[in-house]
Amino acid sequence: MKRKYLYLIMFVIFFVFFITNCMEEQVVESKKENIQTSESILAKESVSINMVSDSLSKKDKISKLKKEHEKPFVVIDKPEKLLAEKLKYRSTNKSLAKFSNSFVPNSVQSTQSCYTIETDVWALEKYHSISGFNVGILPKNTWQYDSSKLTSLKNTWAFNLVQLERMAFANPIVYPDNQIVAGVAFQSPKVVLDSYRGFLSEPGRQQFYGFYGDEPWHAILPGLRDSISKTINDLKNIGGFTTSKYIGGETCEGWAHNFDDLVDFVNQTAYTDMTYTSSYGCYRGPWDEADQRDEWTDFNNSFGGKFDHVWISGELDRGEMDQLIGHVQNMYKTSIWLYAGQSYLPDQSYWDAISEFSYYAFMHGYLRREERRFIYIWSYIGNGDPCTDPQITSWELTDIIETNETRIR
């Protein structure tokens, strides 16, 4: 009887132990499941956050790139104009299915049929010089010592000549000597010669492209013509600059006739039509608001091929450069220059002027333009038939793909 109770007691103890152990394992497994569930939720939230982040960054990228392309003169055909043309002339027999069975590599249009439209946008990469044409710039003083700005002027905007002051080309980095025009005062022969005496004896030096004297006759001094002649002769015969071009500028042809036979080229330095004349020369009257094209014509009639190195102002000629450079082209001139020397103008104002100047230099055949292809992807968001809906507002820009394809024209 005692043995029977003993077995019963042992069975009860074993059963209680077994039940307790099972419950602990269930608690542990439950905790594991809770941890795994939490980790899974966190992972999904992380993926979701990353997707939102990627989506936002993509939208920001699209918006930033589109704004860059909307800057004046960056693209010739605006993206919306290209979309409108595509909507107007696209084929009307495409499938209405959201996805078609055809597949063409690197094409969104082939897989999404009418619901997606691609347009090619060609944006400015840089400009290139053209043999036989000179496109020059006189940058403001601070730019003349800034190698990064000079590099941009040369390699992006294709200015193949630059006018610099004496100290700016003591150690040339960007422009070689044969692409430099040195600014000088023709009426000060000793100062000029002392400044350049021995220059060509320095290691690695070459002939300058030229020397430019701005408005020398404005000084109205006795013997001025002799001073101009002596300056040029000293630079050639003593200084050794025998192949450099000598260029002088004046406001009107009457004053320029006083020294035109001494220089290789003359140009006009005012940015208006100089119609007020006197025994001393010409001036801009208070009524003279026209641009300089008529004055250029007078110079061209007076000096023919000697009239070149034509000045356009980065301050006063904004918005007129199409007409101005077009007139230079009509006169068959080979050298156009941008004056960007006013120190009080902010840098961005001159970059904007440079953008306009180079664009119209390209349009009138003085530069070539390199462009990069971007693919604009527009998705249908309208409520009608995507194959026939011509409304630009029914289409949303959903991606911009930058390609490695460039062209020069």
Domain ranges, ordered by start, for the chain: 70-125+373-408, 131-363
- In the prediction, which pLDDT does 290 show? 80
Instruction: List beta partners, residue 181.
Output: 163, 210
- Give the pLDDT band (50/70/90) at residue 284: low
Indicate if the pLDDT at residue 386 is higher than 50.
yes
Q: Which CATH code is given to the segment(s) 131-363?
A: 3.20.20.70
Global pTM exceeds 0.75: yes
| Portion of the chain with pLDDT greater than 70, in percent | 76
Indicate if the pLDDT at residue 50 is higher than 60.
no
HEC states along the chain?
CHHHHHHHHHHHHHHHHHHHHHHHHHHHHHHHHHHHHHHHHHHHHHHHHHHHHHHHHHHHHHHHHHHHHCCCCCECCCHHHHHHHHHHHCCCCCCCCCCCCCCCCCCCHHHHHHHEEEEEEEEEEEEEECCCCEEEEEECHHHHHCHHHHHHHHHCCCCCEEEECHHHHCCCCCCCHHHEEEEECCCCHHHHHHHHCCHHHCCCCCCCCEEEEECHHHHCCCCHHHHHHHHHHHHHHCCCCCCCEEEEEECCHHHHCCCHHHCCEEEECCCCCCCEEECCEEECCCCCCCCCHHHHHHHHHHHHHHECCEEEECCCCCCCHHHHHHHHHHCCCCEEEEEECCCCCCHHHHHHHHHHHHHHHHHCCCEEEEEEEEEEEEEECCCCCCCCCCCHHHEEEEEEEEEEEEEEC
- Give the pLDDT band (50/70/90) at residue 105: very low
Indicate if the pLDDT at residue 86 is higher than 60.
yes
- Give the pLDDT band (50/70/90) at residue 89: confident
- In the prediction, which pLDDT does 28 show? 42
Model pLDDT for residues 52-65, shown as the tens digit of each residue: 445 558 888 899 99
> Residue range 104-121: average pLDDT?
69
C-alpha distance across the termini of the chain, in Å: 113
Query: In whole angstroms, what is the distance from residue 215 CA to residue 186 CA?
Result: 9
Model pLDDT for residues 329-360, shown as the tens digit of each residue: 999 999 999 999 999 999 999 999 999 999 99
Contacts of 53 (CB under 8 A, 6+ apart): none
Indicate if the pLDDT at residue 83 is higher than 60.
yes
- In the prediction, which pLDDT does 255 show? 87
- In the prediction, which pLDDT does 173 show? 78
> Residue range 6-16: average pLDDT?
56
